Structure formats: structure tokens, C-alpha cells
Amino acid sequence: MTKRAFNFNAGPAALPLGVLQQAQQEFVDFAGAGMSIMEMSHRSAIYEQVNNDAQALLRELFGIPNNYKVLFLQGGASTQFAMIPMNLLKPDQTASFVMTGSWADKAIKEAKLFGQTSIVASSEADKFNRIPDLSGIELPSNAAYLHVTSNETIEGTQYAAYPETGDVTLIADMSSDILSRPVDVSKFGLIYAGAQKNLGPSGVTIVIVREDLVAQSPKSIPTMLRYDTHISNNSLYNTPPSFSVYLVGLMLKWLKERGGVSATEQYNRDKTKLIYDTIDQSGGFYRGFADPASRSLMNITFRIQTEELESLFVKESEKQGFIGLKGHRSVGGLRASTYNAVPLESCKALAEFMQDFQKRNG
């Protein structure tokens, strides 16, 4: 039997074994073409089908309305931090942000290169341990959009509900929680996500954008950084990351076979409950970083009393086959990433390991 680690990596992250095995089976000879998908022209009918099938499945599973386009781009979510203001922020407008942590910060810094920005709410005073209360937020009258980071991968916080923005376009970075739960896409003008956590391997970035928003980007934007370039070419303007798009397609098929996004959300809730319950029932041995109301279903961040114990935890967990539990270097502590493809069995094993570790060190 294939030996698989208990993979809690933050991204790139675990992929379903079935997806990897199918890719392995088709690796050398894809669809009887006598070559792998990587060796094939991206203008071939076979690749076009792969591209179109992945788009169609994403539309179906995520409930994307017809007036939205689905794009497969390169450059990671980090390139979207710039592409969004380049395309959507006019000179007399302000790009508004909710400041929730490390990734929101990067998005804001990049937008500043292109125009005016404003932070309408922030949880910085609480070290970003929660999503700020947005019930009464006021947006600048010239706001081009409000940008939210749906799930802060490093701090381990996630929006339980998205803010109401009225006529102002809502934009979300869903890099670390796309397709982990149902979302009303029609509330958003643009959603983007790197694929490498919940949807497949690195190398492809998903952009879901309402058509009318990107009909008229400024003429000065380089061709590759314009949404309309990729829209009018069905994400085939230049050579796409074909192998990554293919794997995203397989991953979407896998998600559909498991019951789609609602079933995935329930599964993700069951998974994370095992670990959050272990934290909450540890009598303070483990301390969750995020405020319970903002806890992420994707990245569980927690601490133990001393850094020595945290190091020991990482060391011992690795010996037992757990990978990726060290917190991000910027915040320390521990983090378990439980994206869509992480099996319940891994979370069960981790909860048991945590309980055992406490018994021995508490």
C-alpha cells in the first residue's frame, strides 16, 4: 500500500490520493494521444476540452452565475494583488480594505502602488486574532471596491459572514478557502484564489469576475495583466499552465463525486471539530489563537505554554508521520491546515496525538 503522510501543509498542500493515482495512470498517455498532457499543444482539441471541462465543473460546483467569467491565470494570488487595482481602480477612486492580517496587508501594500487606499476596519490591535465586526462599516463615497481576505492563512481566521456593501463591489481573496463551503458568488464582483490549497497544485490562479466590471480596463495596462485579454481568449491567450489546470479538473471531479461544496463544508466542519475540541478540552494546555467566532475551518492555529514544548511537539509529530504543523515563521506557534483534500483520518490521528502529547507533557 502507498504510504501517505498525515499532511497538514499550508500550501502547496495535500491532494486526494485518488486524484494523484488517476494522474499517474494517465501520465504517459493522456486520452490515447500517445503523449502526456504536458507534451501536448494547448491549442489541441484535447487540451481545450480539459480547459473547458474544468471551467464548467467550477461553475457548477460553486454556483457561478452566467454573467461571470472564470479565468485560469498564472502569477499566483500575489499577482492579483496588483491586477485588481490596475484594472478596477480609477484615479479618482479609493480601494478599500479590511485589514485582517498578513495577506490583507500584502494586498493593501500592492494596491498602494496604483492609487488611493483606505482601511475601513482592522483587528491589528488584537494581533489579528479575529475578523473585525463589520456590521456598521462605512465605505468612502468614492470607493471602487471593498477587498476582504476570506481566510487569513497565517493567523487562522475566517469570515463567518461577508459584509454587506450595497452598491460597492465586494472583492475576496479566497486563496485558502475557495470551495471549502458554499458562497453566494453573486454578492461579489471578483473572487480569486491560488489553486494550491483547496483546488489542486500550484501554478494556476482562479479568477471569477463579473463581466461588466472588466469591460473597460485602462489602455495602458500590459496585455498579460488585463482581465479582458484572458476573457476574450478563454484563458488561452498564451501558453497556460496546462498540467495544473488538468489537475484542478480532476480535483473538481473528486469534489463533485463526494457530494459537492455543501458536503465538503460538513466534512471540513467534522474534521476541524476534532482538533478545536481537543484544544478547548485541554484545560489551557493548548490555546487556540483565533477568537472562537472567527476560527478558520482551514487553518487551525494554536500554542502551547512554552516554545520548548512547541518545538518538542513539532519534533515528535514529525516522527509519527505528521507534516507541516509548525506555525508560520512570522507568528510562531503551531498550525494545522485542513484543506478540502485533508482526510478526516488525518485529523483524528492529530487529535489523538495532541491528547497523548498533553498526557506526557501536561
**Chain centre distance of CA 286:** 26
- Would you report the helix, strand and coil content of the chain in percent, each value rounded to 5? 40, 20, 40
Is 239 annotated as ligand-binding? yes
Shortest CB 123 distance to ligand PMP, Å = 15
Is 196 annotated as ligand-binding? yes
Instruction: Indicate which residue of 103, 105, 254, 326 is catalytic.
Output: 103
Shortest CB 100 distance to ligand PMP, Å = 10
* Residue 128, number of CB atoms within 10 A of its CB: 25
When the beta carbons of 329 and 359 are compared against ligand PMP, the nearer one is 329
Q: Is 148 helix (H, G, I), strand (E, B) or coil?
A: strand
Site residues for ligand PMP per CB under 6 A? 11, 76-78, 103, 149, 153, 173, 175-176, 194
Instruction: Indicate which residue of 69, 173, 177, 271 is catalytic.
Output: 173
Q: Look up 106 and say whether it is catalytic.
A: no
Residue nearest to ligand PMP (CB): 76
Q: Look up 228 and say whether it is catalytic.
A: no
When the beta carbons of 149 and 338 are compared against ligand PMP, the nearer one is 149
Q: Which long-range contacts (CB under 8 A, 24 or more apart) does 161-168 make?
A: 162/187, 162/188, 163/98, 163/134, 163/137, 165/139, 168/96, 168/139, 168/143
Shortest CB 240 distance to ligand PMP, Å = 16
Q: Where are the beta strands (DSSP E) in the chain?
A: 6-7, 68-73, 94-99, 116-122, 143-149, 151-152, 157-158, 169-173, 190-194, 205-210, 286-288, 299-304, 322-323, 334-337
When the beta carbons of 183 and 304 are compared against ligand PMP, the nearer one is 183
Q: Is 66 helix (H, G, I), strand (E, B) or coil?
A: coil
Q: Look up 254 and say whether it is catalytic.
A: no
When the beta carbons of 98 and 304 are compared against ligand PMP, the nearer one is 98
**Torsion-angle region of 200 (φ positive above 0: left; ψ -120 to 50: alpha; else: beta):** left
Is 238 annotated as ligand-binding? yes
Instruction: Indicate which residue of 69, 197, 271, 326 is catalytic.
Output: 197
When the beta carbons of 129 and 176 are compared against ligand PMP, the nearer one is 176
Is 153 annotated as ligand-binding? yes
Shortest CB 102 distance to ligand PMP, Å = 8
Is 43 annotated as ligand-binding? yes
Q: What's the rounded Cα separation, in Å, for the pair 277 and 3?
A: 28
Q: What's the rounded Cα separation, in Å, for the pair 43 and 36?
A: 15
Q: What's the rounded Cα separation, in Å, for the pair 88 and 214?
A: 7
Shortest CB 107 distance to ligand PMP, Å = 7
| Binding site, annotated residues for pyridoxal 5'-phosphate | 77-78, 103, 153, 173, 196, 238-239
The binding site for L-glutamate consists of 43
Binding-site annotation: residue ranges: 43, 77-78, 103, 153, 173, 196, 238-239
Point out the residues that are catalytic: 103, 173, 197
